[in-house]
Structures are given as structure tokens and as C-alpha cells.
Amino acid sequence: MMHKKIRQSAYPAFEALKRMEELEREIEEEIGKSFFDSIGISFDYWPEDENAEYDEENMPIDMVLLATTTVSECSFGFITEFSTIDDLANAPIVQYESIGLDKHATLIAHHFIDFLRLLITKKSVFGLMSEEDTASDVSPEDQYIYKRIMETFQIEPFASVQSYKQQLKADRAKNSVVDTYNGLGVSTLTGSTAHQRFVVPDGEDDEEIMALLTDFLKSSSLESKLAYIRDVQENSYIDIPSFEETDVLLIAELKRHGFVNEAKRMALITGNDD
């Protein structure tokens, strides 16, 4: 039985995000350069109905794009907790790397305002995963942009990035009922307390693994199924296998529970969107 309401429509942009997009336009008019060409980021919110057409197979199926960067493999997004977050303003922020350095999706901030605080602290869009307290050296032009962000949102840099990141990880672990490889985990959705992770057995062939996986997906909790999806995406559908039959089973399960956007995304990246 579902305990959380699943959003069936796209999340609207919230006020702070709208103000950031306005600020980006204002500063471009002032200095003649976009955020993208200066500090390397462009805030480009994609509602789920557009995001559902983005076929990156390793991007979490409940991630909604927030911003792109000058490195095409790197972007930032909201984690909607499988469309159960009440407001995108409260959604956790991840850094997504399509090439998968250590992880494809790494949690970097509790929410949008903390993301901005992290940005003005590190002064580099490519230093947000770091736990070091040092900031990058920037040009006077870029320093002006970070100052404007501080003034507009009335925020201050973090006193300690390391302390913030440690608390971020602890809070996430506390609120997850099933762990996942990338640390995002899955929070409670149904109230079930019986959760497990699918472990690929050694020495089994594909047919035997598929049979075990099918049994797991038929008998495990919804949270366990969603954790499997997180893990298989992080492992590029290789180290943790998926099969057409089990993909179809999962998509049907997502639809049955009302995960409209997540079902669309998974159908697209697994080639089952016909």
C-alpha cells in the first residue's frame, strides 16, 4: 500500500529557480556573456515531460535536469524521490556524469539553495563533489557573478564544505530504507519493513541469473525494486544485469503504482517504448 502521493504531472519551476533564470539573463545583458560562457553553467530546468525523452541510460529515472555545464558529460539535476517530493525546491541535487568516474550520480546538496551556497563557496561548477574547503581562483568577472548570486538569494558560503558533505551523507543514509551503490538509496514509500538488494551470484549463467532476478522482482518490496533500478543504472546494465523480460516486468510495476514519468524514462532507455 502506497503511503506517499505520486505526482502525475510535471513539477512547476519554483520561485528561487525562476529568480536564478532572471538573474542569468540580467547579468548576460550587463557583461555581454552568459553564465555558460563565464562560470560554466546554465540553469536550464527540464520538466519531466521533456526529461522523459532524455535517453541517458545511467541517469536516475527520477532525476529532472536542473543545469547543464560546458562539459557535455556533466550536468546537475533534482532527485524527485520517484515523483513523491512535494516541491522541487526541497528536492536533493545530484551531479550526473554520463562517463561515470566513480559514480554516475553523486549527491551534492540537500536542495537548490544549498546547491547555490556550495557554488559560491567552491567557485567552480566542477568542484562541487569535492569535500575540500578551498575555493578556486576566479577572474573579477566571475567573482562579480558569485557576488550577485549571494546578494540575490541572501546566502553565505559554507564555513566547512567537509562538515556539510558529511551531514548530507548522514542525513541521506538515515532517510533511506534500502542502500544503493551510489549512496542515493531509496526512502520509504509503502511502509514495508522487509527490504533486500539483488546480489548477482557467482558462477551462474544468464538464464539462471534471470530466473533469480525474476523471483526477486516478483517477491521483493517496491523499495527493493527501485533500489535494483538505481544499482543497475549505476553499473551501466553490465555488472548488475538486466534482461528484456525483467525490464518489461519492472516497467509494468512502475506503471501499476503510478510512476508515470519513471516508467516513460525506463521504457525509453531500455528500448521498450514502442
**What are 31-63's pLDDT values in tens digits?**
999 999 999 999 977 766 565 566 678 899 999
CA distance 226 to 217: 10
CA distance 262 to 274: 16
Q: What is the grid cell recorded at 243?
A: 534482461
Looking at the fold, whether 200 and 108 belong to one and the same domain comes out as no
Looking at the fold, whether 48 and 144 belong to one and the same domain comes out as yes
What is the structure's pLDDT at 236? Answer: 66
Q: 101 pLDDT exceeds 80?
A: no
Looking at the fold, whether 157 and 193 belong to one and the same domain comes out as no
Confidence of residue 149 (pLDDT cuts 50, 70, 90): very high
**Considering 168, 196, 231, which residue would you say is the last residue of a domain?**
168
**Considering 134, 149, 168, which residue would you say is the last residue of a domain?**
168
| SS3 state of residue 43 | strand
- For the stretch 166-219, pLDDT in tens is 999 999 999 999 999 999 999 999 888 889 888 887 777 888 888 988 899 889
Looking at the fold, whether 25 and 122 belong to one and the same domain comes out as yes
Confidence of residue 2 (pLDDT cuts 50, 70, 90): low
| SS3 state of residue 189 | coil
pTM of the prediction?
A: 0.92
Q: Could you identify the residue written with the cell 514502442?
A: 274
For residue 242, list its beta bridge partners: none
CA-to-CA separations, 196 to 142, 172, 206, 264, in angstroms, rounded: 47, 18, 21, 25
- The residue segments making up the domain with residue 58 are 15-168
- 143 in any annotated domain: yes
DSSP codes joined into one string, 70-136: SSTTEEEEEE-TTTT-S-GGGS-EEEEETT-SS-SEEEEESSHHHHHHHHHHH--TTSTT-------
